[in-house]
């Protein structure tokens, strides 16, 4: 009954909620770009002011990088507490020339909001805030205590906030925490996501001669940094099988259980359709695993960027004296980014040997995380999604990383429910990111429904 009022509030206040998200998306809060620090702070303040307007007490938690935000509305110590996570920072937007409209000038078209961060993660966590608002204003009060923890460094230095969690352990106490930073597999299947891969990112720079050299004069006489780099890359991952070739890489890898593989296989998925959708002739898969498993339940290694020599207009016959690659690995339980970094770094140094000099820079890593499909909080999530979207919910595994989640699992000891509202074609981390308005408003309803579900669990026999 109260949920109906919350849903009605969302229906009646669509324009305001969308307008607020649009304002939020105008802020170019790129955490990886130093010159955007003020914008990142402004984005965090946007959430802070909004939550304060909803009667939340807020605290800004400084970190070694960008600040975090904590907010709470404690209704009663007898009620369960839901902790909701989000992040206000976004990925860089380049290459800008591939955007149809400017990334920080949100545009509404084709039932979607187009902007950097529209899905990841401003749109998704603002749906949670909208669900709280709707519950409060529609139904009068929240059926549970609600806390928010919002970070500003998810796309850049996610360790920064994680390092602060231990000291705020008491504040973060909760019965469940909810993350809306994942996808539905398609428009017809809302989903709870069971697992995340961990991540480890690094930058490798090979230096050769003391400067760029004429490739006519020196070609054949020098180890060329681009050659050394591609020699390194070809020895980090087998091109045919997809196996990572770094010794020790698979030592700590948990094989997915048959039950997990079966659950994942239950979602709607067709390799040929997916290939077509992505504009490729066929999908890749690690030898011995399906494409879907390769992209979710298996560790892998990507070269996210490469640059060396002359890449401008025309041709320049140089042997560039530097070549750089940005490399990341995706990890699964029990791999640890620090151990993997040591193994990869060792192997790269062996491969370069005396053929150049190598500099390796580590970026923040993230732990992998697998959840329990039998948890009542996960089951409540599936029900809330079905109630809000009127469609059957499914269970997914997620190939990406939310480095913060495993830390919050560790510090709170609470079960995690990943209940995201995005669609696969939202172009996360790419030009022309967007978020369907249906997903935003439906997400707000699912957020309200989840609070109702957990509130109902409070009175259930056996709790506390």
Considering only residues 403 to 432 of the shown chain, the ones binding a copy of itself according to CB under 8 A are 424, 427-432
Token pair of 377 as six digits: 């909080």
- Of residues 23 and 304, the one with the C-beta less far from a copy of itself: 304
Q: At residue 204, what are phi and psi to the nearest 5 degrees? A: -120, 125
Query: Could you say whether residue 227 binds a copy of itself (CB under 8 A)?
Result: yes
- Of residues 242 and 373, the one with the C-beta less far from a copy of itself: 242
Query: Could you say whether residue 334 binds a copy of itself (CB under 8 A)?
Result: no
List 34, 53, 78, 461, residue binding a copy of itself (CB under 8 A): 34
- Of residues 61 and 218, the one with the C-beta less far from a copy of itself: 218
Per-residue x/- mask for a copy of itself, residues 98 to 137, rule CB under 8 A? x---------------------------------------
Token pair of 395 as six digits: 């269970």
Token pair of 152 as six digits: 């500003």
The interface region with a copy of itself, picked from 44-52, 292-300, 412-420, 445-453 by CB under 8 A, is 292-300
Four-CA torsion 385, 388, 390, 396, nearest 10 degrees: -20
Query: Could you say whether residue 253 binds a copy of itself (CB under 8 A)?
Result: no
In whole angstroms, what separates CA 261 from the centre of its chain?
A: 22
What's the rounded Cα separation, in Å, for the pair 67 and 224?
Answer: 43
Are 269 and 292 in contact by the 8 Å Cβ rule? The answer is yes
Token pair of 278 as six digits: 């992505």
Query: Could you say whether residue 75 binds a copy of itself (CB under 8 A)?
Result: no
Three-class HEC string of 230-273: HHHHHCCECCCCCCECCCCCCCCCCCCCHHHHHHHHCCCCCHHH
Cβ 74 to a copy of itself, closest distance in Å? Answer: 35
What's the rounded Cα separation, in Å, for the pair 195 and 172?
Answer: 22
List 8, 38, 108, 280, residue binding a copy of itself (CB under 8 A): 280
List 65, 69, 191, 319, residue binding a copy of itself (CB under 8 A): 319
Four-CA torsion 443, 164, 152, 9, nearest 10 degrees: 30
Query: Could you say whether residue 234 binds a copy of itself (CB under 8 A)?
Result: yes
Query: Could you say whether residue 63 binds a copy of itself (CB under 8 A)?
Result: no
The interface region with a copy of itself, picked from 19-27, 64-72, 288-296, 444-452 by CB under 8 A, is 288-296
Query: Which burial class, exposed, middle or buried, applies to 279 when counting CB atoms under 10 A from its CB (0-12, 13-18, 19+)?
Result: exposed
The interface region with a copy of itself, picked from 73-81, 185-193, 194-202, 438-446 by CB under 8 A, is 194-202
SS3 (DSSP) at 187:
coil
What's the rounded Cα separation, in Å, for the pair 364 and 160?
Answer: 9
Query: Could you say whether residue 310 binds a copy of itself (CB under 8 A)?
Result: yes
Query: Could you say whether residue 332 binds a copy of itself (CB under 8 A)?
Result: no
Query: Which residue do the tokens 């040591």 mark?
Result: 342
The interface region with a copy of itself, picked from 40-48, 90-98, 252-260, 381-389 by CB under 8 A, is 90-98
Query: Could you say whether residue 96 binds a copy of itself (CB under 8 A)?
Result: no
What's the rounded Cα separation, in Å, for the pair 85 and 59?
Answer: 15
List 20, 37, 45, 203, residue binding a copy of itself (CB under 8 A): 203
Cβ 428 to a copy of itself, closest distance in Å? Answer: 5
């Amino acid at each position: 009954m109260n949920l109906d009022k919350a849903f009605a509030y969302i229906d009646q206040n669509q324009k305001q909620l969308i307008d607020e998200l649009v304002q939020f998306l105008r802020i170019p809060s790129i955490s990886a770009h130093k010159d955007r620090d003020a914008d990142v702070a402004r984005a965090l303040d946007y959430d802070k002011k909004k939550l304060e307007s909803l009667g939340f007490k807020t605290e800004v938690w400084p970190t070694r990088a960008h600040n975090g935000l904590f907010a709470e509305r404690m209704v009663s110590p007898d009620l369960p507490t839901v902790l909701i996570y989000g992040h206000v920072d976004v990925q860089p937007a380049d290459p800008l020339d591939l955007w149809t409209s400017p990334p920080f000038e949100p545009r509404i078209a084709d039932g979607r909001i187009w902007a950097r961060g529209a899905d990841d993660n401003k749109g998704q966590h603002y749906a949670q805030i909208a669900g709280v608002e709707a519950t409060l204003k529609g139904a009068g009060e929240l059926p549970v205590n609600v806390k928010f923890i919002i970070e500003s460094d998810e796309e850049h230095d996610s360790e920064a906030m994680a390092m602060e969690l231990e000291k705020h352990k008491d504040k973060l106490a909760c019965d469940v925490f909810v993350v809306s930073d994942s996808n539905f597999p398609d428009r017809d299947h809302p989903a709870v996501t069971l697992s995340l891969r961990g991540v480890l990112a690094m930058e490798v720079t090979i230096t050769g001669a003391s400067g760029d050299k004429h490739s006519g004069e020196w070609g054949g006489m020098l180890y060329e940094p681009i050659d050394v780099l591609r020699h390194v890359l070809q020895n980090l991952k087998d091109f045919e099988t997809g196996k990572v070739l770094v010794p020790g890489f698979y030592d700590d890898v948990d094989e997915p259980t048959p039950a997990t593989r079966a659950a994942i296989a239950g979602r709607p998925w067709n390799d040929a359709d997916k290939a077509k959708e992505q504009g490729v002739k066929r999908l890749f898969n690690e030898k011995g695993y399906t494409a879907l498993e390769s992209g979710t339940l298996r560790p892998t290694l990507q070269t996210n960027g490469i640059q060396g020599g002359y890449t401008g207009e025309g041709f320049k016959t140089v042997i560039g004296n530097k070549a750089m690659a940005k490399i990341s690995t995706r990890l699964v339980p029990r791999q640890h980014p620090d151990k993997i970094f040591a193994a990869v770094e060792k192997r790269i140094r062996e491969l370069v040997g005396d053929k150049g000099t190598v500099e390796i820079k580590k970026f923040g890593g993230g732990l992998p995380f697998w959840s329990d499909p039998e948890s009542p909080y996960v089951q409540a999530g599936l029900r809330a999604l079905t109630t809000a979207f009127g469609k059957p919910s499914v269970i997914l595994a997620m190939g990406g990383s939310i480095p913060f989640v495993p830390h919050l699992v560790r510090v709170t000891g609470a079960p995690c429910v990943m209940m995201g509202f995005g669609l696969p074609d939202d172009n996360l981390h790419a030009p022309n990111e967007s978020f369907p308005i249906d997903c935003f408003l439906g997400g707000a309803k699912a957020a309200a429904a989840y609070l109702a579900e957990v509130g109902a669990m409070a009175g259930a026999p056996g709790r506390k």
